Structure 1
Amino acid sequence: MAKNAKKPTKVRRVSPLKPGLSGASRLVQSRVHAGMRAATLSRSSMLRFSASVLFVFFALAFVALWLGGHLSVVRDNVDAFKRNQLMAMGFTVERIDVTGEGRLNEADVRAAVGIYEGDYFFGADLRRAQSNTESLPWVDRAVVRRLWPNRIVVQLVETAPYALYQKDGQLHLTAYDGEIIAPYDPEAGDLPSDLRLFIGDDAAQHAQSISETLQHHPAVWADTDVLTRYPSGRWDVTFRDGRVLRLPLTDLDAALRRFVALKTHTTTRYAIVDLRLADRMTLTPAYPIDA
C-alpha cells in the first residue's frame, strides 16, 4: 500500500522575473505611472486655469471700479472697517498732554492740535497738529508724538522775546531774528526789563544786524534804549538818559569808536552827537550855552 501511494503533486511557481512575464509587468507599471502623471498634470492645468480666470476677474473688477469712480469708495470702506475694528479693540486716544505752555493758553494749544479724546489713535495727523501749533503766537518749535498705547504728547518751546517793535503806532514783541511774536502787553509781568525798542518800517528785520554791531562796543550797547531806522537804512541810537547818537550809513564801527573816545575824554553832556559825516563831528549841547 505504501509503495502504491501517489506522491503529492508539487505546485510549480512562476517567478515574476521570468523573461516571459517581466515585460508585461513593466508595461503595466508604466501605464499606471503614465495615468498618475496625466492626472497630476490635469490637476495642475486646472489650478493654473482657475488662477488665470480669477486674476482676469479681479483685474476686470478693479478696472471697472476705477473707471466708475468707485475704487476710492471701496478703499474708504475697507479703511473704515479696519479703523472701527481697531477702535473696538481699544486703540483710541485717551489722554492729550501739553507741556511747555508758559505764556500760552492750554485750551488754544489743544484747539490747534485738533486731536481729541476718543479719536482713532493711529489716525491722528501729527504733521498737521505740529504745523498748526507752531503757527500760534509765542511758539518757536512744537513736537507732537504718539505715546503707546493711548496718549498724544505735545511739547512746546516758546520764543524768547528779544525786543520791542513799534509799527503803525502799536508795540509788538519780536524774536531775535525780527519775527513778530505777539502784541506787547504792559500788564505782562514776566517780560525782560531790558528790551530795546526798534522804530521804523523794516527796523525789526534789521534789528539783529545793528544789535550785533553795537554789542561790539559794550559801553554803547549797555546804555542803548531806542534804535530808529530811516528809509535810507541809517540808524539813530537813543540812550537811556535821552541823548541821541546819529550814525552814518556805512562804517559804523569807526563811528562808534569815535563816539567812545569822545565819552572817554570829555565830561560835557551833549543832547545830540552827529557822526553822519566821516570827517567831522557835530555836537549839540544838552543845555543852552550862555552868550
Structure 2
Amino acid sequence: MKCASSTPNAMPLENRQLSLFEPEAAAPPAPPSPASPRSTAPTGTPLAVSPPPSLPPRARWREVQTEHQPIGFVLRRSRRKSIGLVVNDDGLQVTAPNWVTLAQIDAAVQEKARWILEKLRWRHERQQQLAMVDTHWKDGTHVPYFGQRIELALGHPGSAHSFTGQRFAPKEGDRLLLALPRDADHQRVRDSVHAWLQAVATEWFQQRLDHFLAANDLAIKRWRLSSASTRWGSCNSDGNIMLNWRLIHFDHDVIDYVIVHEIAHLREMNHSKDFWREVGRILPGFESARDALRRHDPASLPLI
C-alpha cells in the first residue's frame, strides 16, 4: 500500500516503485467537493497508537492529532522531492525531504487521515487473522511448499532442521524434521519453519533471478526478501527488487512469473501493453501462473 503526498512546493516523486497487481501508486480517496458532506471517520473502535519496539537508523516516532483520532508514524528524512506515505506491516511510514518542516509533514498526514486509518484498520484485521493461523503450528501440520504439501515433524534431535525430500523439488508427503520438542510452543514452531522457508526462498529466488537476468542481458542493483501482506513483489526505478518470501508456498511456474514480472519493469516501469508484451517475451504462457496467483493474498498463507 502506497500513497505519495506532496507539499505545495514539492516536485514529483523521483523514485517510483511498482508492485504486483497494483497501479503505479495506490491513490487515497479524493477529498470531498465543497458541495459534499464532510467525510466521516472510518468505522470501528479507535486504533491503538504506540511506537514499534525498535526504530530504523535515523528514524523517529511522531504522533499527530487528526479529526478522527491520533495517528502515530515512523518519520525518516531523505533526499526525495516529496512526502511519501506508506502503510505496511510496520504501520505508517513517512519519508520526507530534509527541507520540509514538521508542520508540513503533520498537515500531509492530517490531509490523508481517512485513507491512512482505513489501511491501518485493514492491517490490524489481517494481523488478527494471522494470529488465528498460529494455533495450527504443531507436530503433524501440513504446509504448502513449492506447490506440494509437506508435513512438519517435531521431536527430531540435532542442531538443525532437515528435509526428507529434494530441497527444491519436493513431493507430496515429504517431511520437514524439526529439532524442536514435540510440545514446542506454536510461536517457536512457526518462527523455526518461517526461518527455514526464508532460507530456501533466498537460494531459489537468487537462482531464478540470475537465470532470467542473464538470459535477457539485464542487471539489478540489489534484491531482498519481503514479508509484506499486500504484495507479492515490487521493482522500483533504481533497479531494486523485492520478492515476498511466501512465494515459496507456490510451484515453480508461479515463482518464475513473479520474478519475470518484476524484471520486466526494468524495461517498462508501468503496466502498459508494452509491459505485458515484455513479460510474455521473457516467459511465454505466463497467464496461467498469473491467474493462479490472483486467487491468493500474501497474508493468507500458509494455507493451514
TM-score, L = length of structure 2: 0.19
Structure number with larger C-alpha Rg: 1
TM-score, L = length of structure 1: 0.19
| More helix as a share of residues | 1
Structure with higher RCO (Cα < 8 A, 6+ apart): 2
